Structure 1
Amino acid sequence: MMEQDSISMEIINPNAAGIDIGSRSHWVAIGQQEQDIREYGVYNEDLFAMADWLLEKNIKTIAMESTGTYWQNLYAVLISKGFAVILCNGKFTKNIKGKKTDVKDCQWIQKLHSLGLLTSSFLPDEKTEQLRTYCRHRANLIHSSASTSKKMQKYLRLLNLRLDVVVKDVCGLTGLAIIRAVCNGETNPQKLAALRHGNCIKSEHEIAKALHSNGRKDYLFALQQELDTYDYLKDKIALCDIEIQTKLNEIIANDENKKQHYIDAKPHKRINKNTPKDIDLNLKSYQMFEGTDLLAIEGMSYSSVLTLMSEIGMEGIKKFPSAKHFTSWLRLAPNNKISGGKILSSRVPRGSNRLKIALRNAANAIGNLKDPTPLRDFFQRINFRKGRVSAISATARKLAVIIWNMVVKGVSYINPEGYLFLDQKRKLGIVKRIKKQIDKFELTIEDLNITNS
């Protein structure tokens, strides 16, 4: 009878533990024997008891899955105790096919970590993580207010007040003024139309024609309720903006390398209505990235820069050794699958995060530019060959590479053709039309009565 051969693998992390995270309890394995496995609860005293047991067993490094938000408190406790903790994506710790239990899962994680087969997920520093919490909460509030805006539009339509036809934004200056007047009992279309803001395209007569209500009290009550909810959410967003500004000031004030930088305002840069109004994000981003002007890139908005600061931060970008690693983490780089020297697939991996979405939105804005720029021309070339979806992904990847080089290597963004803001475009357009008229009528300096002073 032949003896069975055994395959041994080199132990990379000899004093390693694996933890299977759960909502009600955590399972810990420091080896593959039955006595090496324990279950702990999720209360604070249970987490510290787990940490004490691991210290007693001389454990140096620990691997755990990033399961929901259940891992965060345990992660903080283990870090405070001096352990080297690796947070892993769940897809890299999947066990082989067979019976699945919590005990087997923690044993499998411990075995993989001991052999050095697990890699850590990206985690921002503590200050960036706190800023991220505020910004993500603010984004959720904006999403809720947008949902409330749609409900107000629905009840206006049921009241036969077709405000959505005559104004661009129901929750703009004209729209909100009319909605508040309707909720206060005003029914005269002419008086409602008189609340029109001067920037509104439609005339008072056109707006008045769309504001003949059917007077349904139930719909009016629901509209009032949604308006109150909208105002409540706007107040919460304003409070969130104050916390974001406070956190940004705190981060910058405690770092000499950041607070020494200054940049002039960009008055021509458009500000989206959801952008924090009382925060100078142009200056804050310039200071946060220590003299790197990311808003010099066409297509980059204030919200895109705020997302970059809160999701990853300057120190987070520097954790990536190259721009390729950065774009791969963002899932913007093709995942080439090669067999026998032949590329079987080169699709961009599925998955998304808030920073990827922000870069894709910036890429889409670049694609909408009318004036030619290098990035806009790149977008159009990809769009012509592969379609707009591929062009957005490719341009977002190029933006990520540019941002990494600007922040890590200190390379300034230079647009050789220049990018003009709206007022500058209007000025050039006027000059162009004047020159065209001069050429058309063959006018001379004497005809124009121009004198050189």
Structure 2
Amino acid sequence: MAMRKREEDEVFPNAAGIDVGGSSHWAAVPRAADKEPVREFGAMTDDLNAMADWLLACGVDTVALESTGVYWIPVYEVLEQCGLTVWLVDARQMKYVPGRKSDVLDCQWLQKLMSLGLLRAALRPGDEVCVVRAVVRQRAALLTEQASWVMRMQKSLVQMNIQLAEVLSDIMGASGQAIIRAIVAGERDPHVLASCRHSRVRRSEEDIVRALRGNWREEHLFVLARSLAMYDSLAQRVLECDAKIDALLVPLKRHEIELAGATKRGSPNPLGFNARLALASWAGVDLTRINGISEGVALTILSEVGPDLSRFASVKHFCSWLSLCPGTKISGGKVLSARTRRSANRVRQALKMGAMSLSRSDSALGAFYRRLCSRMDKPRANTAVAHKLARMVYFMLKRGEAFVDQGQQRYEEQQRQRSIAALSRRASALGFRLELATTPA
């Protein structure tokens, strides 16, 4: 009777568990499936194929795979190609379970939890999304490394007392690059270097001349030249990634869409192709119509989750996956903490960067961001606006809704009407009646 009850509790009776390692993998199947329910397999491709054949011979249809570094990726791909349903589970779900001190017991515990339906699968997009995601992440890594070489150039300039950062907001802008390349080419006259500035630079030519008077030491000039060469080399690699992304997005164009409005300007790292049209043709909606969502942010969102959000039951599940929703640390009916979880989610970081760009926007979202900044600190306001952007992205991708900006004046008028209604309710509760003045104050 106890055995029958145990079998009825199993959600996935033919499930297997695999503990992934760098040099070998331990796999466990149900006890009744094989005389040796736990086996060790190597990390070579032949070993992975042998493991897949053994799982199929044991009648396994679902596999729980522990996400360990990047070692799980080849195991996942091989098992998925063999027709098995693979669940990528977080190792932290089994972290605090005592008594498991070896890989053999780990894989058995994975198999048991999976059979009882106590594990949750992590988001693993389709192959077409994974291909684009790999190149987009490589591009982001190149941009991060490129920024480190910009800091090295800044350090060399400061060591020579060339205070270029004091007169230019971006030393790698049009004026900054022109001046630095002239310095590397051998120019030392500050007046000639200052003439390279763009006409839109606010600082006067005299201020730039003063900032360009320094000590031209040979070793610092050598480091500056090498850093600029590395910067240019990485810029070329970024262009190669842009060309590859453009080629990967061509077969993903499933929608015929006409774009309205002009492309947003001012992106710090613009893509080397018409990414707005390519992404809109892939997703069916133009995410860049949302204020704060640039082409780079839209590319990050679609390359991480894809245009299909059916894996998320609701917008609340999507925002929870992004770690943008308030926390629910409650004890005894009292809210102990409502802080959002810390997360390295790339979509979350992209949305927060997009929210920061709204500080000077004349849109309704810009007015909303500035209103929150007046009530709370900027990091919390940034997270709240990123949450709002995530909800807009979800509804656009899920329902195909188009985004329409109401404008700053419409938003401010709505807030004014809400304030008047709140004051009227407050006055009525105190026994007074609120009357609006005929002439504005």
1:295 and 1:301 in contact (8 A); partners too: yes
Q: Give the equivalent residue in structure 2 for 1:405.
A: 395
Residues 1:302 and 2:295 are matched in the alignment = yes
Q: How many residues align?
A: 406
1:129-170 CA-partner distances (Å, limit 9, x unpaired): 111111111111111111101100111111222222222221
Report what 1:45 is aligned to.
Answer: 46
Deviation larger for 158-167 or 338-347: 338-347
CA shift in 2, pair 1:118/1:178, >3 Å: same
| Residue aligned with 2:353, SS | helix
How far apart are 1:88 and its partner, in Å?
0.5
1:208-228 Cα distance to aligned partner (Å, 9 max, x none): 222223231111111111111
8 Å CA contact 1:360, 1:396 repeated in 2:
yes
2:14 counterpart letter in structure 1 = N
In 2 relative to 1, CA 250–204 (structure 1 residues): closer, same or farther, beyond 3 Å? same
Task: For 1:56 and 1:310, locate their aligned partners in 2 and report how far apart those are by CA, in whole Å.
Answer: 36
User: For residues 10-409 of structure 1, what are the structure 2 equivalents within 5 Å?
Assistant: 10-31=9-30, 35-94=36-95, 96-252=97-253, 255=254, 258=255, 260-267=256-263, 269-276=264-271, 278-290=272-284, 292-315=285-308, 317-366=309-358, 368-369=359-360, 371=362, 373=364, 375-409=365-399
Distance 1:395 1:156 in 2: 37
Alignment RMSD (CA, Å): 2.4
Q: Distance in 2 between matches of 1:419 and 1:139?
A: 37
Tell me the TM-score normalized by structure 1.
Answer: 0.84
> Aligned partner of 2:169: which letter?
K
Given that 2:367 and 2:408 are in contact with CA atoms closer than 8 Å, whether structure 1 keeps it comes out as no
Q: What per-residue deviation string (whole Å, max 9, x for no partner) do you get for residues 344-383 of structure 1?
A: 44332222311001111222223x135362x344434444
User: Which stretch of the first structure deviates more once superposed, 183-192 or 119-128?
Assistant: 183-192
Q: Work out the CA distance in 2 between the residues paired with 1:284 and 1:271.
A: 19
Structure 1: gaps of 5 or more residues: 421-453
Q: Which moved more, 1:355-364 or 1:87-96?
A: 87-96
1:364–1:183: structure 2 CA closer, same or farther, 3 Å change rule?
Answer: closer
**Residues in 1 aligned to 2:363 and 2:247: alpha-carbon distance in whole angstroms:** 39
Q: Secondary structure at the match of 2:324?
A: coil
TM-score, normalization: structure 2? 0.86
Q: What is the Cα deviation at residue 120 of structure 1? A: 0.7
Match of 1:86, SS state, is strand
Say if 2:28 and 2:108, in contact at 8 Å, map to a contact too: yes
Unaligned runs of 5+ in 2: 411-441
Q: Is the 8 A contact 1:265 1:282 kept in 2?
A: no
2-structure distance, mates of 1:227, 1:206: 24
CA offsets per residue over residues 169-197 of structure 1, 9 Å max, x none?
Answer: 21122222222222222222222222223
Of 321-330 and 192-201, more deviation after overlay is shown by 192-201
- Distance in 1 separating the partners of 2:333 and 2:205: 69
Question: How much has 1:314 moved relative to structure 2?
Answer: 0.6
- Report deviation, 1:334: 2.2
- Residues in 2 aligned to 1:144 and 1:409: alpha-carbon distance in whole angstroms: 38
Q: What is the alpha-carbon distance in structure 2 between the residues aligned to residue 381 and residue 180 of structure 1?
A: 43
Find the residue that maps to 2:36 and give its secondary structure. Answer: helix
Matched letter for residue 82 of structure 1: G
Amino acid at match of 1:93: M
Q: Which residue of 1 aligns with 2:433?
A: none
Asked if structure 1 preserves the Cα contact closer than 8 Å seen for 2:130 and 2:303, the reply is yes
- How far 1:338 moved relative to its partner? 4.1
Q: Say whether the 8 Å CA contact 1:336–1:346 is kept in structure 2.
A: yes
The 8 Å contact of residues 65 and 90 in structure 1, kept in 2 or not, is answered as yes
Q: C-alpha distance in 2, partners of 1:298/1:272?
A: 13
Q: CA deviation at 1:262?
A: 1.9
Aligned CA distance change for structure 1 residues 99 and 307 (closer, same or farther; 3 Å): closer
1:160 to 1:342, Cα distance in 2 relative to 1, 3 A: closer
